[in-house]
Amino acid sequence: MFPTPIQKRPRAAQITYQTLVPLALILWLLPLLAVGLFSIRPLSDFTNGNYWGMPSSFEFFTNYGKVFFESDMPRYLLNSLLITVPTVIGAVALSCMTGFALGIYRFRGNLLIFFMFIAGNFVPFQILMVPVRDLTVNMGLYDTKIGLVLFHIAFQTGFCTLFMRNFIRALPYELIEAARVEGIAEWRIFWYIVLPLMRPAIAALAVLIFTFIWNDYFWAVVLTQGPDAQPVTAGITSFNSQFVAQYHLMSAGSIVAALPPVIMFFAMQKHFIAGLTLGAVK
């Protein structure tokens, strides 16, 4: 078998390889390990300067309990959830429809609209900031979750459409032709034939968009303020100014804020990577 598996290489090469890779990995994850270690230390460790030794006691529940019960963190987390889930649903629903229209029908303007979606995908989001902020303020949606959701849906639709259209193009077109010959209404073709086949794409896209939106910071700062509507990405900075210099709580807060997308990633790893690969290569 080519290339030679590492097990069949000379002994010295094997050992260097097998020690260097884990070492590099630990170095890579050192920031996360450090923060994880800080988050279970008691406050006294920080005043005594015991940052890197054994923790004098394990305060996992005290520290994380404080984050959950004595700060605005749960509200920020809930806000994030309430912003992210509707956006994912909305963007996926819209892009299924546009992807179907652009992938299945041949009509005048099809290519032009498709190119517009591609171009929209590359527009730097900063350029939209002032008008979108004005628009949101004028609609009375400033500092609301809905304002943020509407914008995210609109902005993500470009990327999602690109993704969906390419996926639908790859489906066997004969299926749709056969259904048409049978005299099935177009909306039934979409609902009963194309949509079930799109399930893997929907799953991949949903996971991808979930992390994109959950991790958005720029629009959270531009369109919201205060714990009523701000998601956790913006909340973590106010959380840190609330607990300034209390490193054990700051660390625990950072971990709590980062955890949902990480869990999502590990749970749905296959879909996530499929989504990235499909999105990048196409």
Partner 1 sequence: MHPAFAGLVTIVIGVGGCLCYFWLSNQFLDKVLFPAKGPNAGRNINRANLIRPWLFLFPALFALSLYLAYPVVETIRLSLTERVTQTDGTTVYEFVGLKNYAQMSSDPKFWEAMFNNMFWLIVVPALSTAFGLLAAQLTDRISWGNIAKSLIFMPMAISFVGAAVIWKLIYDARPPDTSQIGVVNAIYVGLTGNDPVQLLTVPFWNNFFLMIVLVWIQTGFAMVILSAALRGIPEETIEAAIVDGANPFQIFFKIKMPQIMGTIVVVWTTITLVVLKVFDIVFAMTNGQWGTQVLANYMYTQLFVSRDWGVGSASAMVIMLLVTPILIWNVRNARKEMR
Q: Label residue 106 left, alpha or beta by phi (over 0 means left) and psi (-120 to 50 means alpha).
A: beta
Tell me how far the alpha carbon of residue 271 is from its chain's centroid: 12
Which x/- pattern over 241-270 shows residues binding partner 1 (rule: CB under 8 A)? Answer: ------x--xx--x--xx--xx-xxx--x-
Part in contact with partner 1 (CB under 8 A); list of ranges 44-52, 59-67, 171-179, 198-206: 44-52
State the minimum distance, in angstroms, from the CB of residue 82 to partner 1: 4
Say if CB 72 and CB 256 are below 8 A apart: no
CB 81: neighbour CB atoms within 10 A?
A: 15
The sign of the torsion formed by the CA atoms of 141, 142, 144, 146 equals positive
State the minimum distance, in angstroms, from the CB of residue 104 to partner 1: 8
State the minimum distance, in angstroms, from the CB of residue 54 to partner 1: 14
CB 224: neighbour CB atoms within 10 A?
A: 23
Tell me if 192 contacts partner 1 by CB under 8 A. Answer: no
Segment 87 to 146, residues that bind partner 1, using CB under 8 A: 89-90, 93-95, 97-98, 100-102, 105, 107, 110-111, 113-120, 122-132, 134-135, 145-146
Nearer to partner 1, 62 or 258 (CB): 258
Sorted by sequence, the CB contacts under 8 Å of residue 55 that are 6+ apart come out as 37, 40, 41, 42, 45
How many residues lie near partner 1 (CB under 8 A)? 104
Say if CB 7 and CB 14 are below 8 A apart: yes
Tell me if 182 contacts partner 1 by CB under 8 A. Answer: no
Among 42, 43, 46, 225, binds partner 1 (CB under 8 A): 46
Say if CB 214 and CB 84 are below 8 A apart: yes
Among 63, 157, 224, 230, binds partner 1 (CB under 8 A): 157
Tell me if 154 contacts partner 1 by CB under 8 A. Answer: yes
Part in contact with partner 1 (CB under 8 A); list of ranges 43-51, 54-62, 65-73, 171-179: 43-51
Nearer to partner 1, 56 or 277 (CB): 277
User: In terms of Cα–Cα distance, which of 221, 247, 211 is closest to 38?
Assistant: 247
Q: What share of the chain is helix, strand, coil (3-state, %, to 5)?
A: 80, 0, 20
State the minimum distance, in angstroms, from the CB of residue 169 to partner 1: 10
Tell me if 52 contacts partner 1 by CB under 8 A. Answer: yes
